[in-house]
Structure 1
Amino acid sequence: MILATAAFAAVASCTSSELGKGPYPPGVDPKGQAVDGVEVGNRLMEAGEYELALDAFTRAALDQGMTTEILTSIGTANLGLGRLGQAEMLLRRAVEDDPEWPVAWNNLGVLLMEKGEYSEAANVFERAFALSNGESDAIGDNLRLALAKMENPDNNGPQEEQELRLVRRGEGEFVIRKSP
């Protein structure tokens, strides 16, 4: 009890900069500024919370406009929710707006795989892989899966090998999780 009280007193005497993020909840800084809606949405996507992520991306669009990143993010959240028509419209618009961004191409490829359009998906993944200079393992894995599905559409290997990877700006990537 004495040790816990001493630890609490030591922590209480620190400033928030000494504690890192301080006592504030994730997503809010001490000055009352909200964290970027795209980052919040990406965190929610990682957690599989696609509906909440969609809300965060929509709020980000109000602040930043409908950028290619936000189009891709909203499309990807819709993909996670199984809204393939909405997702396709948004992802195709994203690749039109920025045809040099491999993330949008990859996520469009994932959508096409979900629809069973393996040939077009393979072409899209090839483009995404080329745009990433062959440096994205996730896109390379998706391309290999699309090519294998083209050769043998009935191929149903182990689930781990069949997970398609959605990617986002930066280091992170998402995996679409199927409901049991």
Structure 2
Amino acid sequence: MILGAMLLTACAEPEPLLGDGADPFAPTGAVRGDSVDGLIVGHRLMEAGQFELALKAYYRAAGETGLNADVLSAIGSANLRLGRLGQSERMLREAIETDQRFVPAWNNLGVVLMETGRVGEASRVFQTAFALDSGNSDEIRENLRRALAQIDNPNYDTPKQDEAFDLVRRGTGRYLLLQTP
């Protein structure tokens, strides 16, 4: 009789170990719930001055959404802030090839060109950004003014010790060059 009870117990359905019938196996790697957009995370990290982490977030965004103009421009902007001017220029030019009307990429490419001493090309790039923006951005207007002033007066120094160019985010993924005191 005891042997019969043991056999019946062995044949009975096991009770779930985790309660409520939850899967006892490790997660499969599927994302559960909503994840935050890599571009948003990257923009917040850029604001906080965490440029390397922002770059990683932008690469994650590229994996999620693909390499669109916004992502390429963001990667270029992060590289610019990290001093990687060659990489920044490549990404920004690729962003422009992807979307020729994407104003932040044009503006930031102008910043790279100013930083590398190619003022003539920078002024043409800022003119394009200004035209595409319909003159709505005071910052782009100021960037263009500075580039033209430097062309007209070769003795006009690029940022003096007490003033420097700086990228500032406006809106979604839009970085503009500003003068900082």
Q: When the two structures are superposed, what TM-score results if normalisation uses the length of structure 1?
A: 0.72
CA contact (8 A) 2:80 2:88 kept: yes
Q: Which residue of the partner structure matches residue 141 of structure 2? A: 140
Q: Note the aligned Cα RMSD (angstroms).
A: 2.6
Provide structure 2 residue ranges, at least 5 long, that are not aligned to the other structure.
1-31
The one-character-per-residue Cα deviations of 1:16-35 (angstroms, maximum 9, x if unpaired) are: xxxxxxxxxxxxxxx84222
CA contact (8 A) 1:109 1:121 kept: yes
Larger-Rg structure: 2
SS of residue in 2 equivalent to 1:34: coil
Q: CA deviation at 1:125?
A: 0.3
Contact 2:140/2:176 (<8 A) preserved:
no
8 Å Cα contact 1:106-1:166 kept in structure 2: no
- 8 Å Cα contact 1:105-1:127 kept in structure 2: yes
CA distance in 1, matches of 2:154, 2:48: 30
Count of matched residue pairs: 148
**8 Å contact from structure 1 (residues 103, 168) kept in 2:** no
Name 2:91's counterpart in structure 1. Answer: 90
Separation in structure 1 between the aligned mates of residue 154 and residue 169 of structure 2, nearest angstrom: 24
Residue identity over aligned pairs, in percent, reads 49
Distance 1:173 1:61 in 2: 18
**Which ranges of structure 1 fall in alignment gaps of 5 or more residues?**
1-30
DSSP-derived class of the 1:163 partner:
strand
1:99 equivalent to 2:91? Answer no
TM-score by length of 2: 0.72
Give the Å deviation of 1:88: 0.8
Deviations 1:62-121 (A, max 9, x none): 100111110000011011111111111111111111111111100100110110111100
CA distance in 2, matches of 1:117, 1:154: 15
Structure 1 residues 103 and 172, CA gap change in structure 2 (3 angstroms) = closer
Report if the CA contact (8 A) 2:111-2:177 is conserved.
no
Distance 2:61 2:161 in 1: 34
- Are the aligned partners of 2:106 and 2:128 in contact in 1 as well (CA < 8 Å)? yes
